[in-house]
């Protein structure tokens, strides 16, 4: 999926000019882990060919087994879904030592935008004074949420958007039925991982139900109460997902400040729901729908 992008990285690695600290930005839900695995394998490999992992050396075998001592992968953890200072400190202690097997130690931080304040400051110091044998690969779909100083200490590379045919083929390879792919592609354009997760959670059925009720509401064939009643079998999370996509479609069809302001309000409400424990999602959705109806669109 990312062959051409990876080829450029491999060429830079082979020529010895791949930056020591990278920030790879991408759209959310694009199966970026495939690229991550290719890049890490190549960075750890003891006998790379044209910058790509050989797949046979001791380092490659250790990486494939998930036991390579020079590879560290940080991801958000716990109820807060953040990367914490203790995680970063543990890695910094490890990379202060010489590599065990490979020529360099490789640290990957997935969802780097989820670094909390203390963890961000600790990482920044490491990026400002990097050891010669440490490679940093940060990945994020929300790079602007990273500290500006962290962004400035890395070379930023952006994954190009996927074509419709790439997304279609990716979903087919994941076992998604051909008949449901158009619905998923319309809702999750350019994001096959998000589309797959939605399919596995029953999104297609929920999307179909929501779209029918939404069309009736917009045409004033049903009231808001009837709309909410029709969605009783749909989870709050899926309702918000469908509403977000519906509002995005409205904005694309008829861009206006009114819709843009509502969308910003909706995104803010979703952000609050994700971080405030005990916030009633059902009531929050009803309030957002009431606000939408008041716009008279």
The count of other CB atoms within 10 Å of the CB of residue 64 is 14
Same domain, 154 and 210: no
- DSSP state, residue 97: S
Using 50, 70 and 90 to split pLDDT, how confident is the model at 1?
low
Give me the chain's average pLDDT, please.
Answer: 90
Same domain, 14 and 147: yes
- 160 φ/ψ sector (left φ>0, alpha ψ -120 to 50, else beta): beta
Same domain, 45 and 105: yes
Same domain, 20 and 149: yes
* Structure confidence by residue, pLDDT tens digits, 170-200: 888 888 888 778 877 776 777 777 778 877 7
**Number of folded domains that form the chain:** 2
Six-digit token string for 227: 């709309």
* Rounded Cα–Cα distance for residues 69 and 96 (Å): 13
Contact 104, 131 (CB under 8 A): no
Range of the domain at 288: 201-295
The pTM score is: 0.67
Residue 277 lies in a domain: yes
Section 115-131 average pLDDT:
94
């Amino acid at each position: 999926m990312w062959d051409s992008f990876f080829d450029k990285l491999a060429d830079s690695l082979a020529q010895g000019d791949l930056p020591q600290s990278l920030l790879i930005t991408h759209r959310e839900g694009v199966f970026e882990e495939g690229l991550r695995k290719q890049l890490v394998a190549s960075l750890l490999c003891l006998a790379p060919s044209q910058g790509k992992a050989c797949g046979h050396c001791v380092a490659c075998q250790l990486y494939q087994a998930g036991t390579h001592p020079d590879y560290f992968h940080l991801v958000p953890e716990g109820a807060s879904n953040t990367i914490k200072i203790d995680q970063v400190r543990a890695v910094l202690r490890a990379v202060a030592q010489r590599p065990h097997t490979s020529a360099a130690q490789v640290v990957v931080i997935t969802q780097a935008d989820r670094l909390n304040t203390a963890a961000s400051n600790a990482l920044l110091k490491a990026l400002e004074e990097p050891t010669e044998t440490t490679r940093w690969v940060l990945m994020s779909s929300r790079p602007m949420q990273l500290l500006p100083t962290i962004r400035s200490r890395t070379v930023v590379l952006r994954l190009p958007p996927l074509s419709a045919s790439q997304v279609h083929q990716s979903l087919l390879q994941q076992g998604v039925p051909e008949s449901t792919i158009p619905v998923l592609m319309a809702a999750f354009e350019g994001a096959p991982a998000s589309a797959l997760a939605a399919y596995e959670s029953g999104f297609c059925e929920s999307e179909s139900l929501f779209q029918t009720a939404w069309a009736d509401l917009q045409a004033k064939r049903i009231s808001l109460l009837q709309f909410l009643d029709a969605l009783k079998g749909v989870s709050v999370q899926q309702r918000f997902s469908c509403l977000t996509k519906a509002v995005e479609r409205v904005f694309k069809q008829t861009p206006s400040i009114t819709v843009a302001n509502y969308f910003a309000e909706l995104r803010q409400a979703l952000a609050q729901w994700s971080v405030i424990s005990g916030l009633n999602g059902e009531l929050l959705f009803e309030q957002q729908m009431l606000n939408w109806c008041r716009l008279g669109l």
